[in-house]
A and B are shown apart, each in its own frame.
Chain A
Amino acid sequence: MGQPRNKTMVYLTRKLEFSASHLYHNPAFSPEENKRVFGKCNNPHGHGHNYTLEVTVAGEPDPTTGMVLDLKELKEILEREITQRMDHRHLNYEVPELKDQIPTCENISRVIWNLLEPKITHGRLHKVRLYETPDLFADVYRNGVKPS
């Protein structure tokens, strides 16, 4: 699944922010286990974060436009797929793609990858980085693609 390396490959990154609430709770665990494993993140009423998402697309610039893809197009994809779905939502209850998953950084970033990858038709999705806070983030790549 490795991405072909090419001398003219350019990596373009677009950033967006969204705010959402979540909580960590596994119904298969006892209340004590939930508390032990998830700590404060298990508080029943949830809590929120300002998430920062960085989406990197790899591709060769089109010789006519000089663009890997039109940033307007990427912005619209991100608005439709991510902002409308996740911004000012409760991730546990309002985002069907996260149903039955603990909405950790790892799982949210994987869901974001799966939402975006098929929509990006100019260039290829290279990396998704999701910051939950400035000190905690997750990166997603296609297997075999060297992180950069």
Chain B
Amino acid sequence: MSNGLHIELGRRYKFAASHRLHSEKLSAEENSRVYGKCNNPHGHGHNYVVEISVSGTVNPATGMIVNLADLDAFVEQEVIEPFDHRSLNEEVPVFREQVPTTENVCMEIFKRLKHFPLARLERVRVQETGNNAFEYAGEDSADRRAV
């Protein structure tokens, strides 16, 4: 990219949302056993932290891989607006089918952001609480495209 170096820009975002871990494929007892407190019927919430990394050529005129305003606007539209202060189960359609574990939330965010037209999405990391975090980098060839 630039004299043999690979440079990525990292950006951190936050959203707060509620979820409930419950699978229709499991019995009430199994749901309770597998998901514990996270299966409580009215759900609960987290302050999620989303860290994304993108790569691309550093434009010599701006010194930037991508203008932050463009990246922020895209993430706001694709992730923050649809997720923030929502019930993930009720208000994000994909989680009517999938259990909104943070693994699935992380993969869904990757899926929404991989179409960003101005840089290549390298990875998404989602922190559910200060004590647990999940990372997804896509399926190499399928999810990555050259910029």
Residues of A bordering B, CB below 8 Å: 1, 24, 26, 28-29, 37-39, 101-107, 109-110, 113-114, 129, 134-145, 147
| A residues less than 8 Å from B5 (CB atoms) | 110, 113, 140-143
Beyond A107-B63, A136-B10, 12 extra complex contacts between A and B, CB < 8 Å: A24-B63, A37-B67, A102-B62, A106-B63, A106-B65, A109-B7, A110-B7, A114-B3, A135-B12, A139-B10, A140-B7, A141-B8
Residues in A neighbouring B9, C-beta threshold 8 A: 105-106, 136-138
Q: Nearest CB to that of B2 among chain A residues?
A: A110
Chain A residues with Cβ under 8 A from B64's Cβ? 102, 104, 106
Count of chain B residues with a beta carbon within 8 Å of a chain A beta carbon: 26
A28: which of B12, B13, B61, B69 is its contact (CB, 8 Å)?
B61
A143 to B6, CA, bound (A): 5
A139/B11 in contact, CB under 8 A: no
Q: Which 3 A-B pairs have the closest CB atoms?
A: A102-B63, A104-B63, A135-B12
B61: A residues at CB distance < 8 A: 26, 28-29
Residues of B in contact with A (beta carbons under 8 Å apart) = 1-13, 53, 58, 60-65, 67-69, 122-123
Given A28-B61, A147-B122, residue A139 in contact with residue B12 (CB < 8 A): no
- Counting residue pairs across A and B whose Cβ atoms lie within 8 Å, the total is 79
Given A39-B69, A103-B63, A104-B63, residue A147 in contact with residue B4 (CB < 8 A): no
Complex CA distance for A107 and B3, rounded to whole angstroms: 13
User: Which residues on the B side are within 8 Å of A1 (C-beta)?
Assistant: 4
Tell whether, in the assembled complex, residue A138 and residue B12 are in contact, meaning their CB atoms are under 8 Å apart. no
- The answer to whether B58 and A107 touch across the interface, beta carbons within 8 angstroms, is yes
Residue among B4, B5, B61 with the highest chain A CB neighbour number at 10 A: B5
In the complex, A64 Cα to B53 Cα: how many Å? 38
- Cβ distance B65 to chain A, nearest Cβ, rounded Å: 6
CA distance in complex: A62, B89 (Å): 52
> What are 23 of the A-B contact pairs (CB < 8 Å)?
A24-B62, A29-B61, A37-B67, A38-B62, A106-B9, A106-B58, A106-B63, A109-B7, A110-B2, A110-B7, A114-B3, A134-B12, A135-B13, A136-B10, A136-B68, A138-B7, A138-B8, A138-B9, A139-B53, A140-B8, A142-B6, A147-B53, A147-B122
